[in-house]
Amino acid sequence: MKKKIIFLTIFCLAFYGALIPNIAQALNSTLYLAPASGSHQVGNNFNVEIRLDTKGQTVLGAKAYINFPANLSVVNSKVSEIGSAFSAGIVKNKVVGNQIQLEAGSLSGLSGSNLLVGTITFNALSSGTANVSFDDSCEVSGENGSNVLGSSQGGAYLIQGAVNQPSLKLNPLAGIYKTNDSFDIKIMLNTADEYTDGVDVHYLRFDPDMLKVVKITPGALYANTDKNNFDNNLGLVNFSQTTQGGVTYKGSGILAIITFQSLAVGDTEANFDFAPGVTTDCNIYKAGGSHTDILSSVAGGAYSVSNSGPRQKKIKLEIFPEAKKILSNLSVIIYLYKNNGQTIMDTIASKLDASGFLQTLIDLSSFEDENWDLKIKVPYYLVSLKKVALNQNVAETSVEAILLAGDLNNDNEINEIDWSVMGPKWFTSDAVSDINGDGAVNSLDWHYINKNWEVKGN
């Protein structure tokens, strides 16, 4: 399995005018992940803290490589600095290719058994065991600059397929925004086939130094909005909806839309107050005689605010079918994959225009990935696969796809079966077999099948 590497470098920025005595120090500091295990569902975020136990020594910095598998991605392409013991000395924190690079240091030195270095917010992409480990090249710098790292402890996380259970989730779960931007975060409700008659969001908590609520727009899942307020001093959202008397709701959708405004540069989170079995926090109430709280899981969000906002990453895709068909409004389906075609991220539906051509702009700014696979399917043409590496020097990366004609039975291969479709339509105006769109099925249309004989699509 292809692994990504988080490159975390915490370096010393200390200088002494005189020579420092080379005092021997025990190699017993420990870098570790907390928690070291856990079970998470596909599509959800979860936090893993990078922590340091100095074993009583004073340290000035450390270097660590952390390996993680392809069924995880790092939210917002960076490690969160919230609460880090090294936060004042962090000078680099970004993703470069398959690495997250974090550089920091402490002039005064640090000592402790549970020092927070940073927090990785992972997003679970696909099921399986995700082993996250420190590389053997890790170091921790002691007061004299020597390596005092004695051991490291990684983690193993079980990623399970999504389970249909009553839940509240923020959408999107992550995002990168510019200071003073206004942006919408949806509260998504899923009753998991249970009939319900009310929902409480008490509370959704956010950092009022980083974000403020502009407004809360109720959804239309329930008839009555019983509470809709927020406190930008305390960082609280309080929202409740119930059904009309004798009416229940079962399904999933938007409970409410919160419009936030970003206030300051940094990392921040929004999280639901929730504990299983507690009925005074966030709840989903089952209808009927039991009227029990059935809320099983919640998923908050992790967001990053910068002065410049996210880098604009777009693909300008131009599709050219090699034959102008009479069916110029043919449907176009574009499948967007990452991880070398293993993980589908989106499906885009469109149509060819009157000239049999399509130009579309695909916005990927919210994703950290730089490499993408596009599969393009148009009826009666072979599927085209385009591997795209985004050009980091421009906002739009141009991609052209020329589609090969003649797949009349749409099995993604051109052969005698396609001829068996065309042959009986010879000298007719059959729209499928009239590949060049001139109103007659003849040798000019056979030309395309012959030219692409035994060619298979991607």
| Nearest partner of 101 among 78, 69, 72, judged by Cα | 78
Supply the DSSP symbol for 147.
B
At 168-202, the pLDDT tens digits run: 999 888 888 888 989 999 999 999 989 999 999 99
Q: Which domains does the chain carry?
A: 3-160 (2.60.40.680), 167-306 (2.60.40.680), 314-451 (2.60.40.4130)
pLDDT band at 18 (very low <50, low <70, confident <90, very high): very low
Could you give the C-alpha distances from 14 to 17, 29, 108, 156, in angstroms and in order?
A: 10, 20, 8, 36
- pLDDT digits over 91-109, tens only? 677 766 566 777 777 778 8
How many degrees, rounded to 5, is the angle at CA 124 between CA 122 and CA 125?
125
Segment among 50-59, 155-164, 228-237, 328-337 with least mean pLDDT = 328-337
More confident residue, 266 or 10: 266
The whole-number average pLDDT for the span 293-300 is 92
Q: Select the more confidently predicted residue: 118 or 313.
A: 118
Whole-number pLDDT of residue 6:
42
How would you classify the pairing of strands 59-69 and 149-153?
unpaired
Distance from CA of residue 132 to its chain's centroid?
A: 18
pLDDT in tens, 425-439: 999 999 889 988 888
Average pLDDT over every residue of 60-83 = 83
220 contact partners, CB below 8 Å, separation of at least 6: none
125: Cβ contacts below 8 Å, ≥ 6 apart: 42, 70, 71, 72, 73, 159, 339, 343
Q: What is the dihedral of CA 249, 251, 252, 253, to 10 degrees?
A: -50
Residue 458's pLDDT band, with cuts at 50, 70 and 90, is confident
User: Closest Cα to residue 190, out of 216, 163, 224?
Assistant: 163
Residue with tokens 């393009």: 376
The number of helix segments (H) and strand segments (E) in the chain equals 2, 32
What is the reported pLDDT for 4? 43
Q: Which of 18-22, 257-261, 263-267, 425-429 has the lowest mean pLDDT?
A: 18-22
Confidence of residue 276 (pLDDT cuts 50, 70, 90): confident
pLDDT > 50? residue 1: no
Residue type, 198: G
Nearest to 27 by CA among 190, 147, 133, 153: 147
* Residue-level pLDDT at 249: 96
Q: Which CA distances in Å does 292 have to 163, 169, 242, 284, 364?
A: 20, 20, 14, 8, 42
Q: How confident is the model at residue 326 (pLDDT cuts 50, 70, 90)?
A: very low
CA gap 72, 215 in Å, rounded: 33
Contacts of residue 70, Cβ cutoff 8 Å, sequence gap at least 6: 1, 2, 3, 4, 125, 339, 342
Strand partners, 399: 317
Across the range 35-61, mean pLDDT stands at: 91
Residue 200 contacts residue 282 (beta carbons within 8 Å)? yes
